[in-house]
Amino acid sequence: MDNSEKFSRKSGMYAKYRPSYPKEFIELLEESINICKNAIVADIGAGTGILTKELAHNMKKVYAVEPNSEMRKACKKYCDEVKNVIIIDGSAENTMLPDKSVDVITVAQAFHWFNREKTKSEFQRILRTMGKVVLVWNSRNVESEFIKENYILFKYLCPDFKGFSQGSSLDPNEYNDFFKQGSCNYKVFCNDLTMTFDEYIGRNLSSSYAPLKEDGNYTSFVEGLTHIFNKYSNNGKVLFPQKTCVYIGDI
């Protein structure tokens, strides 16, 4: 399956259950790369527009570049009241944007799906002088026993599961080769969530590797998630330990 189609039929779950980003992350952007009302941003692999909408409140224009048609429709609905968002049918390797047209490129939850070499060339083409690239992930805290049990379940029941964020470790040096002179600014923020049962199930079903209802492993998957939730929940909610990992630099 083409990477752009991995979230087909999951846009509703994605829009409803995927988390936003901590305020400290937005403050970091404002401080370190001077995001302001005059900035033009390309949010690549924008998905349902979770980061797109948040960014749009702080700058002149945001291009939401997304190759999946279902995700673009969800993004349009989510960002409908935000007039400075322009949704583009494009990809990281072919954004459909003009040369030197943006001040900042953001990529949320998606960089691990891209062809890195082609993406770098495309980003260099559309970035203006002094433009910055921001890669960000909300990632489960793999040191947690709760998350370890989730991992075992996914490994056992989900054939496409290669690890969280496609096996990315999200350590400080993982993406250095993408940035100029092999270095970037790396930050980590706590972004723990408290989830109800429905939120926990929905969050996991929004994953690319999660089965669909008609798949043979769907019932076992939901039953496994239910068992884990019941084991770790307190008063009908569970703590979902999560961190936000950020890479900012020149290319």
**pLDDT at position 165, please?**
81
Select from 99, 122, 98 the least CA-distant residue to 44. Answer: 122
> What pLDDT does 119 receive?
98
The distance from CA 107 to its chain's CA centroid, rounded to whole angstroms, is: 7
Q: Would you write out the chain's pLDDT as a tens digit for each of its 251 residues?
A: 555 566 667 888 998 999 999 999 988 888 776 666 788 999 999 999 999 999 998 888 999 999 999 999 999 999 999 999 999 999 999 999 999 999 999 999 999 999 999 999 999 999 999 999 999 999 999 999 999 999 999 999 999 999 888 778 899 999 999 999 999 999 999 999 999 999 999 999 999 899 999 999 999 999 999 999 999 999 999 999 999 999 999 99
Q: What is d(CA 190, CA 155) in angstroms, rounded to the nearest whole number?
A: 25
| pLDDT of 36 | 65
pLDDT at residue 2, rounded to an integer: 57
Nearest to 137 by CA among 115, 167, 161: 167
* 3-class DSSP state of 107: strand
Q: Note the pTM of the prediction, 2 decimals.
A: 0.93
Domain edges within the chain = 3-140+164-192+242-249
Instruction: Provide the CATH topology of domain 3-140+164-192+242-249.
Output: Rossmann fold (3.40.50)
Give the number of other CB atoms < 10 A from CB of residue 35: 21
